[in-house]
Amino acid sequence: MGNPLLGQEPLPQFMQIRPEHVELAVRELLTANRARIGELASQARPTFANVVEPLEELHHRISRTWSPVSHLNAVLNSDALRAGYNACLPLLSAYQTDLAQSEPLFRAYRTIAEQEGAALAPVQRSVIEHAVRDFRLAGVGLPAERKQRFKTAMLELTQLQAKFEENVLDVTNSWTRHVSDAHELAGLNDMLIEQARRRAQERGLSGWLLSLDQPTYVAVVTDAESATLRRAFYEAWTTRASDQGPAAGRWDNTPVMEEILRRRHEVARLLDFGNYAQYALATRMAHSVGEVLTFLHELAGAARAAAQAEFAELESFAGRKLAAWDVGFYAERLQCERFSVSQEELRPYFPLPRVLGGLFEVAERLFGVAIRERTGAPVWHPDARLFDLTAASGEAVGSFYLDAYARPHKRNGAWMDECVGRKHLPSGAALPVAYLVCNFLPPAAGRPALLTHDDVLTLFHEFGHGLHHLLTRVDYPSIAGINGVAWDAVELPSQFLENYAWHPQVLQHISGHVDSGAPLPADKQARLIATRSFHAGLSMMRQLEFALFDFRLHTEYAPERGARVLEVLREVRSEVAVVPVPEWNRFPNSFGHIFAGGYAAGYYSYKWAEVLAADAFGAFEESGVFDRPTARRFLDAILSRGGSRDALEAFIEFRGRRPDVRALLKQHGMDAAHGRAA
């Protein structure tokens, strides 16, 4: 039997993939690709057909092979798989850098642009433009010594970022809280308590064993009546992979962060950018450091007074000064008192099967697709499921996997990633396939998983990313789906779709009591919708704290003084933080978005894209939230275009004007004296 990672099946054969397959497959594929690239780079007369299209096929092959490995490392982590994954990171980094620094290919692309440009289709010209830009951003024009140093730094960055993520996963998996007194569990939901009882039983312990997975952490700090339990979880969570907390020093990411920031700065300077933020903005919708900082400070100015008033009211409600681990608990109680609705109270109304059915109906009504589950498909875990999308004509559109529940050895958080990218090339075609991953509380015996409304929003968010990947009409893998999309616009479809999870018509369809099947009563719906602007100021200031910290960290880094991670964080908090946090809080040490993910100097993208999403949804509010002509324009201008169109031009095509920040402020109940374009 051959290596399953090199097979030609439409879907990865997950259960056949073994750790020992990983490095063998990657080495074989990279060797073949390098040989083919050598042939392409030596074309006497380079054309789009004889250079660009074959390279797009090679891009697709690499992605198809590596995608299941990267995915399994995130959702079914093991020591052996991790070793294979890590062994391949330097190989892939070197390959990508060599490809992007190839002077013969760079010259070929420029020749094609000059000689064929006028005859190429717009999407083909976009492929060329993106490639030429990326050649330059990879240092193709650097002298040999600087080019080699750039390559080495990128390789080291890849390894450091993987190490950062591993440390967070390991420390998260290592921590548990053994509870022997049932009173300490007061306020927690029955499903979580039962899972904790079973976990303790499996370990031969009496009582209950709580883990540090994300849904358990959120449930404890929001619902546990025991301040002692809340504090224990808060400390364990916010000190992960640091020099503080219960695992102090064991998986400390402090030196890893220092090295990541040093190499990012070096990469930027090698290309004559002043700092890494400037380098990152070369591929973004925002064009300058000043533009981003002005945007963030303007939002902070609009939200600060509201956030301060919200926190003062919360402390008044609690009747005392609040510690950081008390805020979620008392906020939930204040919300319950004010709106007579709580996240836990809503769980029975949001069984996952009902939510999925309603979510799929939204996509079907907006974009004319049908979504059906496919049984018998290869999956990596019994929890994983596969769904197919078809057009109204019956034509296949694509597929997506859903892995919904938290479990050991699975990365925390929620994400969408590419399993298979769309392509339509002379060498063959492929339909897009996505991974949708969440970390909800698993179902109890005989009952489906029950979601909070926050969980529902998460599912809608990731499905929005999925639609961006699946509904693309771009035939070239490098700019199909989310590929090639400006990073500060990539959250637009996901945040746009979240709006539907707040709409009365949709709530009627995604809710159904687990026992009676009855939808969420109208009065509860109204109260739930009213909570949308509850503590909107505090929420916005918290996100702005993260965004400013990230952006300043990458803007202000200087080799002679180092990363100054905690110093920058303290300065940002003194400017925008409303809720006080303990000195031992080390949230940067597990801030995977910027240290292990794609959001370095880009966390502001969430707020930037939230402006785009609120303004885009405004068009639907004006014409009807299920208005098909509006949905068709959104599909044509945004979802289907991938990276083939400038993000701002695409938004203007859909909305008829530049985006306006007032749409977001209005959505959160904050009046602004004036607006500005994002």
Catalytic residues: 462
Alpha helices, H only, 175-253: 190-202, 214-223, 227-238
Q: What is the dihedral of CA 530, 532, 537, 539, to 10 degrees?
A: 150
State CA 130 to chain mean position distance: 22
Residue 485, helix vs strand vs coil: coil
CA distances from 320 to 258, 271, 317, 335, 489 (A): 38, 53, 8, 17, 42
CA-CA distance, 454 to 185, in Å (whole number)?
A: 22
329-333 own/partner pairs: CB under 8 Å, 24+ apart: 329/221, 329/222, 329/223, 329/224, 329/225, 329/227, 329/230, 331/535, 331/538, 332/222, 332/223
Residues contacting residue 64 through CB under 8 Å, at least 6 positions apart: 420, 421, 430
CA-CA distance, 421 to 555, in Å (whole number)?
A: 33
Amino acid occupying residue 550:
D
The bridge status of strand 396-405 relative to strand 433-440 is parallel
What are 347's two structure tokens? 């769980």
Burial class (CB in 10 A: 0-12, 13-18, 19+), 290: exposed
Closest of 264, 260, 286 to residue 273, by C-alpha: 264
Secondary-structure percent of the chain, ordered helix, strand, coil, rounded to 5: 60, 10, 30
Which residue has tokens 């200031």?
541
DSSP conformation class of 501: G
